[in-house]
A and B are shown apart, each in its own frame.
Chain A
Amino acid sequence: MPAVSKGDGMRGLAVFISDIRNCKSKEAEIKRINKELANIRSKFKGDKALDGYSKKKYVCKLLFIFLLGHDIDFGHMEAVNLLSSNKYTEKQIGYLFISVLVNSNSELIRLINNAIKNDLSSRNPTFMCLALHCIANVGSREMAEAFAGEIPRILVAGDTMDSVKQSAALCLLRLYKTSPDLVLMGEWTSRVVHLLNDQHMGVVTAAISLITCLSQKNPDEFKTCVSLAVSRLSRIVSSASTDLQDYTYYFVPAPWLSCKLLRLLQCYPPPEDGAVKGRLVECLETILNKAQEPPKSKKVQHSNAKNAILFEAISLIIHYDSEPNLLVRACNQLGQFLQHRETNLRYLALESMCTLASSEFSHEAVKTHIETVINALKTERDVSVRQRAADLLYAMCDRSNAKQIVAEMLSYLETADYSIREEMVLKVAILAEKYAVDYSWYVDTILNLIRIAGDYVSEEVWYRVIQIVINRDDVQGYAAKTVFEALQAPACHENMVKVGGYILGEFGNLIAGDPRSSPLVQFNLLHSKFHLCSVPTRALLLSAYIKFINLFPETKSTIQEVLRSDSQIRNSDVELQQRAVEYLKLSSIASTDVLATVLEEMPPFPERESSILAKLKKKKGPGAVSVNELEEGKREGGELNGGGERGGDSSAIASTPSPSADLLGLRTGPPVTAAAPSTGSLLVDVFSEAGVNDDGFLSTQVSKIYNTVLVVFGYFNKKILHIVPLNDLSERELVTINEQTPQGVFVMAPFLKMFRALTCTILLGLGMALLENVDPNPENFVCAGVIQTKAQQVGSLLRLEPNAQAQMYRLTVRSSKDTVSKRLCELLAEQF
């Protein structure tokens, strides 16, 4: 048993601890503890008052028992009593107990606060510190209320001892963080800032933490700290090693204080005052110079302390991003560290260089190290270092090195840790898109991603490749060919099947001429994967099949055979069954024209912000993806289609975890989800921004109107409905398709009925069909129709919302050509 010091022996405690350590089993330990607890309980309840020493000893034992992991439900009162002792050792134990076992009993809180108050006003620095430490450790609201006014006064008072100032500064910081509304700096601001000039370095060390925090919240009020910080830093950096005796650590003057000063300066932009700025730049240059000098000691503590300052200085240089000379020098210094024998330094250099890579001044300098970084990616043994290398490659990537970097990252992916794969995949996808000049390279890269790390290729990534292929005519054939080849692999990832299914469904015709990829071959290839796939993928494949029927009529009977089979039309999954049934029906009854219209090639997607970047940002947290990067992503994304509007609700959507998620901010993606069509979905949804059915497959509504029967049918693509008027179709047959029951009929008020009749006539006169029981509001009119023009057919939807009271109406028209919408609106407005 080690000797205990003479001041506060507590032999009984030492014996107890020994006993516990000697217990051979958990049960024995518990037994011993319970015995002691009983003993202490009886002592506390006993008739004769315990002396301070005993109380201290027992409270300390209780604390020990608590720290072993056992709950303590008594002793607080005795601990609080110890606070009023005038013996340091007793107070200390009392304060320690209540700091560790914080209690919310209001009576105790009152007593504790009283004791603290007494100690704070005791003028005994040791007691004052004990009290301040307690407040700093507990930091409760009640303490803040009681003392937030007092502590600033103590902090700046002329007669306060240095050690008390140190504790007061940090105590105030704690209170400010937990109860900022109670800490009013106002009158104390300048004097607190002035602490930066204190001759006691410990006071400065403590005060600077407080000032840093305060200046983040109130930069203007505290901005005078900048010049003081620069002076202080300058004095430290240029000091000889014999100054600052007590604060020199392994030949490095005041390393922690230097770091804190540099950190404080990062809360502000570069100093405006020329003299201050000059001094600071000189300082930074000195720090960089020192890094090149031979070390004063071989000890790792020396180099760590020195480099701690260096890295913080580099952070400041990066933060300012305004001194090209410093940035380049920093980059070079970090470049040296990349090959240092110490893993810590290589790690930190990679990390720091990552931020340097985004500065225009140092970007090129960073790029010169690409080979070293690639080497690190391949050879570093600590996975976190490899990850920093990957991050740096990502950050230094630009047009000149994109192909090389993407290739390296792909090869790294093959053996990468599972925990980092998803992030790597996102990054490769982003780089491939951003720097693609040749989109076939892009397609190859994404398909490689799926091949190498298919499980980690999230929806955003493969939605994006489809979107790009759809939008770019020049790569469609290549994509079809490549995906066809990729699918030949005996075991290919399900994501590959999804991408392949979609692309072949859209562009399979581009490779159908070659007998090796004839329509039937394509179909068989896809269908061979069918049974291996999950429901959403199968749903996608079914859609691909119906598209094949349209593209390749010769496959019709084969595919219908498949659709007709029991495993499809009686599939237990509702979505698959519905698709099989409806596609089968569609293929049987629709004429080739109609089929071609319904299954027309997907139109180009409008420009939206890439959700991949948003996903990466979410993964890594704020600050991981620079705003620059996001903005660039938006700009670059515009290249895709020659510009276009930004997605309005993309941020809102990104936060909703819908399974068919976020095709680049579009609310719907290619029809792949297995979500069952909601029976309540209405045609009217098309008009509203909210409440859109995410499912690609819109449920159908049947309305028998006059002499035209309309089936509204199709994929919910970009909120435009392909409307297919079907003539000569009996209601019964239609009902078979969708098995929906029409809604009930409402009774309308007589005068409204007349108004309705009038409006109906007008609308019908247009040649549109009036749809009843579609809008939940019975007063509204909803129409649908197809405008036949010489060039094309334009589907249109219309909603008229009259407000009889206000004598106003709202007319909404939606069609697949916006010029048509406008014209219709104008025409109708004349009528009404």
Chain B
Amino acid sequence: ALSVTVQPRCKIIRFILIQNRAGKTRLAKWYMQFDDDEKQKLIEEVHAVVTVRDAKHTNFVEFRNFKIIYRRYAGLYFCICVDVTDNNLAYLEAIHNFVEVLNEYFHNVCELDLVFNFYKVYTVVDEMFLAGEIRETSQTKVLKQLLMLQSLE
């Protein structure tokens, strides 16, 4: 049998970042322990790495000993940092799924929505991702839940 085993590696989303082109962080969700300095460094590095890429590049970047799956939507970079053995396309579409939900929830979402409603963005994230894993993928179900929560006092 082929012996490239991947099992012992920790397969978990390390973090999810939404950054604008200037490097401002609009969302940072961490699924592993990093201290504040490390987080800052990671944020800067990710920004440096993704902003130099263009259409001729893939949507995957090797990053330290992980990889980043990212996509740019208008002025925002959505980045998910996963294990090198994770499924690139699955996470690429997980990003898109998430963006479509944000779009629906905020009615044509723009960067400002994420700024002024930052505390709600965390709720959306927690509906779809938890503990470094994908939690829910049905847009219908997520939106239904979000609208219900919206109505609560």
Contacts and interface: CB of A to CB of B under 8 A. Distances in A.
B3 A628 contact: yes
A385 B113 CA distance: 36
B153 A17 contact: no
A382 B58 contact: yes
Nearest to A303: B89
Interface in A301-327: 301, 304-305, 307-308, 311-312, 318-322
Interface stretch (B14-22, B74-82, B127-135): B127-135
A717 to B, nearest CB: 36
B41 interface: no
A120 interface: no
B63 to A, nearest CB: 11
Nearest to A7: B150
B73 interface: no
A216 interface: yes
Contacts of A209: 131, 133-134
B134 A256 contact: yes
B17 to A, nearest CB: 13
B90 A267 contact: no
Interface in A51-98: 60, 63-64, 67, 87-89, 92-93, 96
Contact of A96 (B1, B11, B122): B122
Contacts of B1: 319-322
A415 interface: no
B122 A311 contact: no
Given A89-B152, A92-B123, A166-B136, A348 B88 contact: yes
B48 interface: no
A254 B136 CA distance: 11
Contact of B138 (A201, A318, A320, A381): A201
B115 A171 contact: no
A89 to B, nearest CB: 6
Contacts of B51: none
A623 B5 contact: yes
Contacts, number: 182
Contact of A1 (B11, B28, B116): B116
DSSP majority for the A interface?
helix
Contact of B153 (A89, A255, A621, A628): A89
Contacts of A381: 56-57
Contacts of A255: 90, 93, 137
A627 B5 CA distance: 10
A305 B1 CA distance: 29
A621 B7 CA distance: 14
Interface in A243-291: 245-247, 249, 254-257, 259-260, 263, 266-267
Interface string A347-377: 1100000010011000000000000000000
Contacts of A205: 134-137
B131 A7 contact: no
A5 interface: yes
Tell me which of A212, A257, A308, A385 has the highest count of chain B C-beta atoms within 10 A of its own C-beta.
Answer: A308
Contacts of B60: 344, 347, 384
Interface of B: 1-12, 25, 28, 56-62, 65, 85, 87-90, 92-94, 96-97, 106, 110, 112-113, 115-119, 122-123, 126, 130-138, 140-141, 145, 149-153
17 contacts: A1-B116, A2-B106, A2-B113, A7-B150, A64-B118, A93-B119, A163-B145, A167-B130, A171-B131, A201-B137, A205-B134, A205-B136, A266-B7, A301-B96, A312-B87, A344-B59, A355-B4
Interface of A: 1-2, 4-5, 7-8, 14, 17, 21, 60, 63-64, 67, 87-89, 92-93, 96, 126, 133, 136-137, 139, 163, 166-167, 170-171, 173-174, 177, 201-202, 205-206, 209, 212, 216, 245-247, 249, 254-257, 259-260, 263, 266-267, 301, 304-305, 307-308, 311-312, 318-322, 343-344, 347-348, 355, 358-359, 381-382, 384-385, 621, 623-624, 626-628
Given A256-B90, A359-B2, 6 more contacts: A5-B150, A170-B135, A308-B93, A319-B1, A319-B2, A347-B58
